[in-house]
Amino acid sequence: MLIYSGKKINVRKDEVLLEDGRKVIREVIEHPGSAAIIPFLSDDEIVLLQQYRYPMKETLYEIPAGTLNKGETFIECAGRELEEETGYRAGNLEPLIVLYPSPGILSETMHLFKATNLVKTQTNYQMDESIKGSIRVKVCNALEMIRKGIIRDAKTVCSILWCRR
């Protein structure tokens, strides 16, 4: 049953039959999918955003990311979001992995990309974003920021660890 229909998400309440025969209620957030990008300025330096996130009531360090527009491919979304949020265009976008950010309640698939050969352009923040700016960070320092709990955004932690494996 549809409970809410919004600009980016829908919320459903479903009655589900489990394998053991029990009926349970599941609340599901339907999401069109997203792309996240770890932008490399060099082999050992990345760009991170400082973005205020209302649900957490704090500014987080994050990689650029955004929701898929209707008719858009994930790689197109990645290129668009990278340029909008960082002011860099990628010479190369390499697909890394597809993540399920919160599969217990959320249908979103997040496609993670590595961006290299960056060319400086211009940011174009969307009206509903609260990006306070970007910083250049050595990957070893980003790893230390993860260890210290400074970087806590899951897609950002995952992407930094994935690229350093």
CA distance 86 to 82: 6
Kindly write down the DSSP assignment for every residue of 122-150, as one continuous string.
-----TT--EEEEEEEEHHHHHHHHHTTS
> Cα separations (Å) of 24 from 1, 28, 53, 67, 149?
14, 13, 32, 30, 36
Per-residue pLDDT, 86 = 96
Residues 6+ apart with CB under 8 A from 21: none
Cβ count near 101 (within 10 Å): 15
Domains located in the chain, CATH noted: 1-30 (no CATH), 33-163 (3.90.79.10)
Give the residue-averaged pLDDT of 13-39: 97
Provide the β-strand partners of residue 16: 24
Q: Could you give the 3-state DSSP secondary structure of residue 20? A: coil
Apex 147 CA angle, 101 and 102, nearest 5: 10
Per-residue pLDDT, 7 = 92
**pTM over the 0.85 mark:** yes
Provide the β-strand partners of residue 61: 50
CA distance 9 to 118: 32
What is the token pair recorded at 105? 């309640």
Give the residue-averaged pLDDT of 31-56: 97
Per-residue pLDDT, 59 = 97
Task: Tell me the pLDDT tens digit for each residue of 52-95.
Answer: 999 999 999 999 999 999 999 999 999 999 999 999 999 999 99
Task: Tell me the pLDDT tens digit for each residue of 126-147.
Answer: 888 889 999 999 999 999 999 9
Per-residue pLDDT, 127 = 81
Give the residue-averaged pLDDT of 9-25: 97
124: pLDDT strictly greater than 90: no
